[in-house]
Amino acid sequence: MRDETERSYTLKEENLEGNQITVGHGHFKAGKFSRISCTSLSLGGGIVVVGPFAKTGNTSDDIRKAAYKKFCQQNRNFKQLFKSHKKLYLVYPDGTLVEKLPDGKEVFSILGYRDFLDPKKRFDRLRLYLCSKQNYQAENGLIEIVTDSSSEDEQLPPLVLSHTRSEYMDNSSEELEESLILVKEVIFHYNGNEWKENFPNNTKGSVLASFIETTLKMSKGEFHLKVCDGGRDVMADDRLQDLADEEEGECNRLEELEKAIPANFCDQSADRTADIIAEATLEIMADVSEPVSILKEYREQFLQGRPLDVVSMAEAIEGDTSAIFISRNNLFEDAMEELKNLGNIRCPLEVSFYGEEAMDLGGPRKEFLAFLMQEIQDRFLVTHQGDVILQINEDAIGKHHFFYAGMAVGIGILQGADIPEHLLHVTTQPQQEHVRQFRSGLRRTGVLQLLESKPNIRHLFTQRKSINVTSLLHTFHTIFSEEGSNKRHKEEEAYRFFVKYVRDVYSGRRGNVTVERILKFATGSASFPVLGYGIAPTIEFVDTRYPTSSTCINKMYLPNEEMIAENYDMAFMNDYFGLE
Residue 528 contacts residue 475 (beta carbons within 8 Å): yes
Residue 322 contacts residue 302 (beta carbons within 8 Å): no
Q: Which domains does the chain have, with CATH numbers?
A: 2-133 (3.10.20), 141-251 (no CATH), 259-463 (3.90.1750.10), 469-577 (3.30.2410.10)
Residue 404 contacts residue 441 (beta carbons within 8 Å): yes
Helix, strand, coil tally for the chain in percent (to 5): 45, 20, 40
Higher pLDDT, 521 or 579: 521
Nearest to 461 by CA among 450, 470, 472, 471: 450
83-97: pLDDT as tens digits: 888 889 999 988 889
The pLDDT value recorded for residue 191 is: 60
- Give me the percent of the chain exceeding a pLDDT of 90: 28
pLDDT band at 54 (very low <50, low <70, confident <90, very high): confident
Nearest to 414 by CA among 379, 463, 365, 482: 365
Element (H, E) at 558: strand 555-559
The pLDDT value recorded for residue 178 is: 34
The pLDDT value recorded for residue 249 is: 53
CB contact set of 318 (below 8 Å; sequence gap of 6+): 306
348-374: pLDDT as tens digits: 999 988 888 767 777 889 889 989 999
Residue 158 preceded by cis peptide, ω within 30: no
Q: What single string gives the DSSP state of each residue in 436-452? A: HHHHHHHHHTTHHHHHH
CB contact set of 113 (below 8 Å; sequence gap of 6+): 101, 102, 126
d(CA 208, CA 102): 35
Give the residue-averaged pLDDT of 56-79: 85
The pLDDT value recorded for residue 327 is: 93
The pLDDT value recorded for residue 147 is: 52
Residue 196 confidence (pLDDT) above 70: no
Could you tell me if residue 91 is left (phi over 0), alpha (psi between -120 and 50 degrees) or otherwise beta?
beta
One-letter amino acid at 110 equals: I
Dihedral of the CA atoms 376, 377, 380, 384 (nearest 10)?
A: 170
pLDDT band at 180 (very low <50, low <70, confident <90, very high): very low
Q: Which of 54-68, 385-399, 421-435, 467-481 has the highest mean pLDDT?
A: 467-481
Collapse the DSSP code of 305 into the 3-class scheme (helix H, G, I; strand E, B; otherwise coil) and give the result: coil
486-543: pLDDT as tens digits: 899 999 999 999 999 999 999 999 999 999 999 999 988 888 888 888 788 999 999 9
Residue 202 contacts residue 241 (beta carbons within 8 Å): yes
Angle between helix 433-444 and 401-414 (nearest 10): 30
Active site residues: 552
CB contact set of 459 (below 8 Å; sequence gap of 6+): 291
Whether this model's pTM surpasses 0.95: no
One-letter amino acid at 545 equals: R
Q: Which of 130-144, 290-304, 563-577 has the lowest mean pLDDT?
A: 130-144
